[in-house]
Structure 1
Amino acid sequence: MTEKTSGLVEALAGASSPSWARRVRAGRDLVPFAGDPEAAEALLGLLLDADDTAVVRRTAEALARVGTVTAVRLVARAAAGADENQADWLQTGVRDALAGGGGVPDVAAACGRLARDPDEAVRRGAAEVLEWAGGTRG
């Protein structure tokens, strides 16, 4: 097993941990694997974590900090399916990432690309994330 593969396996295991701190760590550790379908589903689960808002917030922050279309698409998918409380913490995570500075990629540009996504839920979620990022609805 390569180091990359073992990192993915360990992070996937952490995503289902009863420990909120381990789930937060798993969210950060899974971000580099966001394009992997299994990792993407685990990240989506963490973005909609029903047990701890810190998991939702920190996973959204980690994905927004990366700012790729793949990462922001997961936040948009979560936003489209989130309840009001989860949406508040997703928004907080996105804003935390953008407030952090340090060369944060353009989340608004990723949302612009997602506005043409074939999945209607992703388009709807991307419009919401764009608002959180300080953009405008298009």
Structure 2
Amino acid sequence: MMSGLEAALAEASSPSWTQRVRAGRDLASFADVPEAAEALVGLLLDVEDTAVTRQTAEALARVGTVAAMRLIALAVAEADDDQADWLQTGVHDALVGPDGVRDVAAACAKLSRDPEEAVRRAAAAVSAWVDGTRR
């Protein structure tokens, strides 16, 4: 029998956008697991459906850990303008949702010291999104 992680990893490559959205939600809590992290970045940069990008970003922002926010930053660093807009929308959705969110700003602050320059720059952009949501 497949574990929840294995099932979500399998769904991440599904041709069905609804299954990929579910995979993004299910994998978000595994952001620190290398196989899940790779799949999550792929979902954040999904070229077939913006709902996958948006809802995966929202799920990761709701997790709010440094590992989760680093994946969003990695995606922002690679995203085209349209993808970046949907990533920002997903982060915004998490921040204004009824459940609130863990301290995404603190995770972004920690990422400002990441060894990868692209991650540091992208984390600064995500931090600006967070600041814009608070106003």
TM-score range, shorter chain: over 0.9
**Distance in 1 between the 2:92 and 2:110 partners?**
20
Task: Give the drift of 1:102.
Answer: 2.0
Aligned counterpart, 2:36: 39
Residue-by-residue CA offset, 1:72-123 (whole Å, 9 max, x unaligned): 0100110011000000000000000000042411111110000000011110
- Please show how residues 2-21 of structure 1 align to structure 2 within 5 Å: 6-21=3-18
| Counterpart-to-counterpart distance in 2, 1:54 and 1:103 | 21
Matches within 5 A, 1:1-138: 6-134=3-131
Q: May I ask how many residue pairs the two structures share in their alignment?
A: 132
Preserved contact between residue 57 and residue 91 of structure 2 (Cα < 8 Å)? yes
Question: Secondary structure at 2:3's aligned position in 1?
Answer: helix
Deviation, 1:134, is 1.4
After superposition, the CA RMSD in angstroms is 1.2
Q: In structure 2, list runs of 5 or more residues that go unmatched.
A: none
Aligned residues: percent identity? 71
1: CA distance, partners of 2:23 / 2:71: 15
Q: CA-to-partner distance for each residue in 1:13-45, whole Å, 9 max, x for gaps?
A: 000000000000000000121111110000000
> How far apart, in 2, do the equivalents of 1:72 and 1:101 lie?
20
In 1, Cα distance between the equivalents of 2:85 and 2:100?
Answer: 24
**Whole-Å Cα distance in 2 between the matches of residues 99 and 17 of structure 1?**
30
> Which runs of structure 1 show a deviation greater than 2 angstroms over 4 or more consecutive aligned residues?
none
Which residues of structure 1 form unaligned runs of 5+?
none
